[in-house]
């Protein structure tokens, strides 16, 4: 496909995607213009989980670029970086001459999407759903976009089986877990419901300690004390974790929580923890082990 071919911007809800797949219409829905068999598409992956799925499908040779959140497997970092998925520049994307862009939900900004529309580049948005069904649908959606649906179903079956095994190992009481996204200036930005953090906490047998709102929001000291987390969950950003815990619990409200009393902080790589891609079974196994919810 050249830059002169038809633009295609598609966003599928998980329910709509399942319905289309059930009637065997998904391939026609996302296929877009026909490509010559000897002219494989130049693909840009936007979103770490999209990139991981492409590698898991063995289709990485089609990739000509990726976004900043795509950091696994390590060899993907050799590809050109077109920027952060929510702050893409049209110049960066167009510079790699893509035929097809496959993106996680939330990619943008809209102004960049409009420029890509003018350039008539096929752009497929894959919806997010932070549960086992969402992982399966995402894998199959990416495979459909690349024309390898059967491989996608086979991969989704394997991941689903691994995830079921990880979840089946969970038992016992659910600890109250607070996911902290950041603490800039001492202000706690925490996850409420409906986020990737909320989804992975639930899959791993924990209970989200913050359920009064959806998405991410700053917490007052009173809200932190009311949440009373047993465990603090954060993305692993490297560095000295011991010193990090001391700094964390120096916060006047966090220092009074059960998590502080037990010095209980779990840090896991952000893409692994929150990606909801092919490594989700590993994320659930690691988090449930850290929370003590396995075989309890």
Residue 1 lies in a domain: no
Assess whether 14 and 158 both reside in one domain: yes
Could you tell me if 50 and 133 lie in one domain? yes
| Domain range enclosing 193 | 176-291
Say yes or no: 272 and 153 in one domain: no
Q: Which of 114, 142, 166 is the last residue of a domain?
A: 166
Percent of the chain with pLDDT over 90: 80
Going by pLDDT thresholds of 50, 70 and 90, the confidence category of residue 117 is confident
Classify residue 2: in a domain, yes or no: no
Residue 66: pLDDT band by 50, 70, 90 thresholds?
A: very high
Domain co-membership, 140 together with 36: yes
- What is the C-alpha separation between 13 and 132, in angstroms, rounded? 15
Establish if 76 belongs to a structural domain: yes
Q: Are residues 24 and 157 in the same domain?
A: yes
| Residues 129 and 238 occupy one common structural domain | no
DSSP helix/strand/coil, 186: helix
For residues 90 and 123, membership in a common domain is answered with: yes
Q: Tell me the CATH number at 68.
A: 3.40.50.1980
Query: Residue 171: inside a domain, yes or no?
Result: no
Note the pLDDT of residue 238: 65
Q: What is the mean pLDDT of residues 64-84?
A: 98
Last residue of a domain, one of 131, 146, 166: 166
Q: Report the pLDDT value the prediction gives residue 23, as an integer from 0 to 100.
A: 34
Same domain, 63 and 141: yes
Is 215 within the bounds of a domain?
A: yes
Q: Same structural domain for residues 105 and 14?
A: yes
Residues 26 and 156 in one domain: yes
- In the chain, the percentage of residues whose pLDDT exceeds 70 is 84
Average pLDDT on 92-106 reads 96
Q: Per-residue pLDDT averaged across 260-289, rounded?
A: 98
Q: By three-state DSSP, how is residue 119 classified?
A: coil
Give the pLDDT band of residue 39 (cuts 50, 70, 90).
Answer: confident
Residue 24 backbone zone (phi > 0: left; psi -120 to 50: alpha; other: beta): left
Query: Does residue 202 carry a pLDDT above 50?
Result: yes
Q: What is the CA radius of gyration of the chain?
A: 20
**Which residue among 108, 137, 166 closes a domain?**
166
Same domain, 47 and 182: no
Q: How many domains does the chain have?
A: 2
104-108, 193-197, 290-294: range with lowest mean pLDDT: 290-294
- Note whether residue 296 is domain-resident: no
Q: 188 and 243 in contact (C-beta within 8 Å)? A: no
**126-147: per-residue pLDDT in tens?**
999 999 999 999 999 999 999 9
CA 3 to CA 108: how far, in whole Å? 19
- State the Cα–Cα distance between residues 169 and 153, nearest whole angstrom: 25
Quick one: 138 and 200 in the same domain? no
The answer as to whether 49 is a domain residue is yes
Assign 104 a pLDDT band (cuts: 50, 70, 90). very high
Contact 10, 29 (CB under 8 A): yes
pLDDT computed for residue 295 by the predictor: 61
Selection from 113, 121, 90, 169 nearest residue 7 by Cα: 121
Q: Is residue 180 situated within a structural domain?
A: yes
Q: Encode pLDDT of 171-190 as tens digits.
A: 989 999 999 999 988 899 99
Query: pLDDT digit string (tens) for 207-258?
Result: 999 999 999 999 999 999 999 999 999 999 765 444 589 999 999 999 999 9
């Amino acid at each position: 496909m050249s830059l002169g071919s038809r633009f295609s911007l598609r966003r599928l809800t998980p329910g709509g995607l399942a319905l289309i797949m059930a009637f065997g219409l998904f391939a026609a829905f996302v296929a877009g213009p026909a490509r010559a068999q000897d002219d494989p598409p130049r693909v840009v992956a936007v979103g770490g989980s999209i990139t991981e799925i492409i590698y898991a499908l063995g289709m990485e040779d089609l990739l000509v670029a990726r976004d900043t959140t795509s950091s696994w497997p390590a060899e993907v970092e050799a590809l050109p970086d077109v920027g952060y998925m929510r702050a893409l520049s049209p110049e960066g994307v167009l510079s790699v001459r893509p035929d097809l862009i496959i993106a996680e939900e939330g990619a943008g900004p809209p102004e960049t999407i409009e420029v890509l529309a003018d350039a008539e580049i096929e752009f497929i948005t894959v919806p997010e759903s932070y549960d086992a069904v969402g992982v399966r649908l995402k894998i199959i959606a990416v495979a459909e976009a690349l024309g390898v649906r059967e491989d996608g179903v086979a991969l989704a079956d394997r991941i689903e089986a691994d995830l079921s095994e990880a979840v089946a190992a969970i038992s016992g009481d659910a600890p109250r877990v607070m996911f902290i996204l950041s603490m800039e200036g001492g202000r706690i930005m925490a996850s409420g419901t409906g986020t990737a953090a909320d989804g992975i906490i639930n899959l791993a047998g924990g209970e989200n300690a913050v359920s009064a709102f959806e998405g991410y929001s700053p917490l007052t000291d009173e809200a932190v004390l009311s949440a009373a987390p047993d465990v603090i969950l954060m993305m692993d950003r490297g560095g000295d974790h011991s010193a990090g815990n001391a700094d964390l619990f120096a916060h006047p409200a966090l220092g009074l929580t059960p998590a502080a009393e037990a010095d209980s902080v779990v840090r896991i790589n952000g893409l692994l923890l929150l990606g909801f891609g092919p490594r989700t079974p590993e994320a659930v196994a690691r988090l449930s082990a850290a929370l003590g919810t396995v075989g309890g």
